[in-house]
Structure 1
Amino acid sequence: IQDIFVTTHTYLDNLKERIHPNDHLSSRTAFAASTLLLLNKENITRRYIDRYLSQENLSASRIIDVTSMDLLIEFAKIDLGIACVIKNFVRDELAEGRLVQLKMPVSIPARKIGFAYAKSGAIPPTVRKLLSFLQELEVQKAIQDRSNR
């Protein structure tokens, strides 16, 4: 999983006008003066991002906590601030230019997610379907990795 910070060109343009109308706006300066949109503090992703922000000495002037990734994305698209989201969730918005990725001095380290289940017991159909889906994704990624070489 790759977490990134996204916003709109409009939000960045307005931020630049407020802070440095005649100068280049660095990502660190933009970040410090922005409204940061994050998942709520109980969320494991939020804890991971909070550690990253602390390690990089990054802080925002305002933080809005929300309960879902979908809300983060929608709030970013309506110019409410800079949202921390999973890159795959905003792939289309980035490709279409509705959102732009904020280049950070140090990228957020990628994360991996794992699943554990008991092979010996009965596996519910929904879990079987999820496992099948994940295995298919793994095969597709392997094929894509080989074709990118």
Structure 2
Amino acid sequence: MALNYDLYKVFYQVADNLSFSQAAKKLYISQSAVSQNIKNLENELNTELFIRSTKKVKLTKAGKILFEHIEPAFNLIASGEESIKEINALKRGEIHIGANDTISKDFLLPYLNKFHQLYPEIQIQITNRTSSTCIELLQQNKVDLIISNLPNPKITEEMKVQKIYSFNDIFIAGNEFEEIKEQQHSLKMLKNYPLLMLEPKTTTRKFLDSLLAEMGTEITAAIELGSVDLLIEMAKIGLGIAFVPEYCLNLETDDLFEIKIKEKLPARELAVVNNKNIPLSNAAEKFLQLLTD
């Protein structure tokens, strides 16, 4: 016998209320329609489910057994419907974001704080990886969206890219290099000083290497690290000159200065990236709207 959900829905309401009229009210159908549905179900099961009288309705033994089996199922369905309503109303749910450490700390934090204030019941998960690795997380559907440095050669045509912030990268140094503070220098000159750089796998390092190659300049890193924060701290204590995004530090309070470069370095951008063919959850849509507004 093929399962007829409508028949069981009517049976559940009659059995739960022990009333054909109450079941009709809750289902927004006529009492005669309720009676016909129960009759059809009894015919399909070849058994009586209710003892009917003028005063009240009782379940037969078979009706009690059937109700015991389907009541948990209908409770689960009701719970599921309520959960969906809560998710759509942003009263529950989660959002999973991929971003590198620097973007998470120096760019995303104010947005995460505002989102949490607006939707405190939404759970926020952040996976910290390089911008290149975040693309892989997106391809594996392990995150809803990522915040990436551009250019990022791993972005594919299946991904939607929305630019959200423009910034410049700068060379910084501490007081140990004060003799070059007021002068303007060429990129070639920098190879005479110890350079602190991010690891080659990062988009920032790839950007710098590509830029130097276009200008016919080759610079070897004195120290390579995976953290912009560490680059900044090492520049502070005079270990070398660091190349970092401008938004991750405050030169007025960090006891550092920007080295003036003759060549004009192209600006870069941050973008929010998600899969074109996978719909975002309501929570992810709201966070995306927060970023793009």
Post-superposition offset of 1:83? 0.4
The 3 A distance-change label for structure 1 pair 85 and 62 is closer
Equivalence for 1:41: 200
1:123 corresponds in structure 2 to 281
Relative to structure 1, is the Cα distance of residues 128 and 79 closer, same or farther in structure 2, using a 3 angstrom cutoff?
Answer: farther
Shift of 1:72: 1.1
1:79 aligns to what?
238
How much does 1:129 deviate? Answer: 5.8
Aligned to 1:139: none
What letter corresponds to residue 134 of structure 1 in structure 2? L
Structure 1 match to 2:185: 27
Pairwise CA distance, 1:50: 0.6
Q: What is the CA–CA distance in structure 2 between the aligned matches of 1:79 and 1:96, rounded to whole Å?
A: 16
In structure 1, the residue matched to 2:256 is: 99
Deviation at 1:81, TM superposition (A): 0.6
Does residue 55 of the first structure (1) align with residue 188 of the second (2)? no
Task: Give the gaps of 5 or more residues in structure 1.
Answer: 17-23, 137-149
**Structure 1 pair 120–60 and aligned structure 2 pair: CA distance change class (3 A):** closer
Q: Label 1:128 to 1:119 Cα distance change in 2 as closer, same or farther (>3 A).
A: farther
Counterpart Cα distance in 1 of 2:217 and 2:260: 13
Could you say which residue in structure 2 is the equivalent of 1:141? none
Q: Which residue of 2 aligns with 1:68?
A: 227
Name the aligned partner's letter for residue 169 of structure 2. Answer: D
Would you say 1:2 and 2:168 are equivalent positions? yes
1:110 equivalenced with 2:276 (yes/no): no
SS in 1 for 2:252: helix
Same amino acid, percent of matched pairs: 28
Asked if 2 retains the 8 angstrom alpha-carbon contact of 1:40 and 1:46, the reply is yes
Relative distance call for 1:58 and 1:6 in structure 2 (3 A) is farther
| CA-to-aligned-CA distance 1:32-51 (integer Å, 9 cap, x gap) | 21111111001111111011
Answer 1 or 2: higher relative contact order, Cα 8 Å, separation at least 6.
Answer: 1
Greater C-alpha Rg: 2
Total equivalences in the alignment: 125
Label 1:97 to 1:89 Cα distance change in 2 as closer, same or farther (>3 A): closer
How far apart, in 2, do the equivalents of 1:26 and 1:108 lie? 14
In the alignment, structure 2 segments of 5+ residues that lack a partner are: 1-166
Distance 2:193 2:220 in 1: 6
Q: Distance in 1 between matches of 2:287 and 2:230?
A: 25
Post-superposition, which runs of at least 4 consecutive aligned residues in structure 1 deviate over 3 A? 57-62, 127-130
Q: Give the CA deviation at 1:10.
A: 2.4
TM-score scaled to structure 1, two decimals?
0.68
Change (3 A) 1:12 1:61: farther
